[in-house]
Structures are given as structure tokens and as C-alpha cells.
Amino acid sequence: MYDLIISDIDGCLSPEDSSPMNLEKLALIAQHNQLAFRQGDRPKLTLCTGRPIAFVEALCRVLQNRDIPCVAENGVWLFDPRDNQYSMDPSITPDQLEMVHAAERLSLEMFQDQGVTLQPGKSASVTLYHPDPEVIHGVIPVLEAEFAKREWQFRVSPTLFYINCDLPQINKASGIDHLLVRTNIDPRRTAGIGDTSSDLAIADRVETFGCPANAFAEVKAAADFVSQFEQIDGVLDFMQYLERQSDA
């Protein structure tokens, strides 16, 4: 049996755009978690996402996660619901935080006229947004060149509507490492699900990796299970797959 499912949010549990979340299907996962905590007969589900920590804390509570830390901001933060604590990755330095703030200012100066905005609430990364994927993806080579010119070390990766600029030692895998140490969960008893390139870091850490039908091609290629359903329907389908695997 698996002890833990580690799930991305955007493109998995909810749409990446501003569309409403499917509350009825989130409630199914919340009910699953309630039974997991009460009966100990199924894996608990926690979160691993690039979203800011306040967003993650809110969804953690919605999903009835009582004691498994959540990874936020692509590994920058752990939120621990057991004691309401927020822990930043200890490898992040003051100089790197200054670099992040400078990169935020530069990004606004360069791309604000194109309608590009910053996702608020980030502490040690920079996330740019535009509703047109062609516009936001067109920013990447210019941004990477400017970072290189200043010798700023960022890992730049796209989703559908966002560009994430993360510190080189920080990713979802490093966040999961901290999560597993804190909980003493065996990684061989974990599963994970994601849809974009940053979620390949989840695949690197879990025993079984799945993705919804809307996942990037390279994510599907790395998955043990590819659902025929999109987003949260794909997550629920993956959870049923894991249940069948446990029963086999």
C-alpha cells in the first residue's frame, strides 16, 4: 500500500487559469483524506506546487490534510499543518533573496508594457504571468539572456500561462526531500501526479508517477500512468489506479 500521494495543483487539482475549482470533486479528495487520517487504510494526499504558500495552506485545509507538510513555491517553503509552521529551505542565502528582488524589478521594467505581470506572494522565486501563452513563452529567451548578462542564477521553466524563475538548488524534488525527512515516510511508498515540466521533479522522487491527459508530452513520457481524463478527473482516476495496484 502507498502511504502518500503528492499532487501538483495547477492543471491537476484545479485549472491553471482563473476558472472555478470543482468543489464537488475536491470534496471527494477531502473525504478520502478524512478516511485516510481516521482509518489508516489508504494514502493521504498532500500538495507540491509552484503556488505561493498562502494559496497552498488554504487548499491544504480544504482537502482535510491534518498532518502532512505541503511543498509550496516549487520547494521554497514547507507548510506543516500539525503546528501551523512555515519553513523556508535553509539553503537559500540572503544574497539570493536580494537577487530575487532585483529580478522582480527587472522583469517589470522589461515586460510590463506587454501586459506581463508578477504573481504576488512569492518569497524566493519570480513568476511571470500573461493570459496568452505565445506572449509569455516569447519572454523566455530575452529573460534568460538578461539573467546571464548579470550572472544571476535562475532555472527558468514555463507552464501554460506562467514562467517560473527558481533558484538553482530549489525545486519540487528538494521540497519533497524535506517533506519525507520530516514525516519519515519511505519514498518507496509514495506516488505523485503532475502535468508540466517542473513536475518531473516529483517523478524523480516518488515510486509511482501519474499525469492527467492535459500533461505535457515529456511528462507523459515519464509517467507510469497516463489518465484519459484531464485535471482533477485525472487525479481521481490516478487515485483509483493506485487503489487497484494496492489490491493486486
Residues 80-137 have pLDDT tens digits of: 999 999 999 999 999 999 999 999 999 999 999 999 999 999 999 999 999 999 999 9
Identify the CATH number of the domain in which residue 107 sits: 3.30.70
85 and 58 fall within a common domain: yes
Range of the domain at 233: 4-90+170-247
Return the pLDDT at 246: 81
Label residues 214-243 b or e (16+ Cβ within 10 Å = b).
Answer: bbbeebbebbbbbbeebbbebbbbbbebbe
- Examine the domain organization and report whether 139 and 50 are in the same domain: no
Average pLDDT over residues 137-162: 95
Domain tally for the chain?
A: 2
Do residues 107 and 182 both lie within one domain?
no
**pTM of whole model > 0.85?**
yes
Beta pairing partners, 204: none
Give the model confidence (pLDDT) of 182-191 as tens digits: 999 999 999 9
Strands 4-7 and 190-193: parallel
Quick check: 36 and 191 in contact, CB under 8 A? no
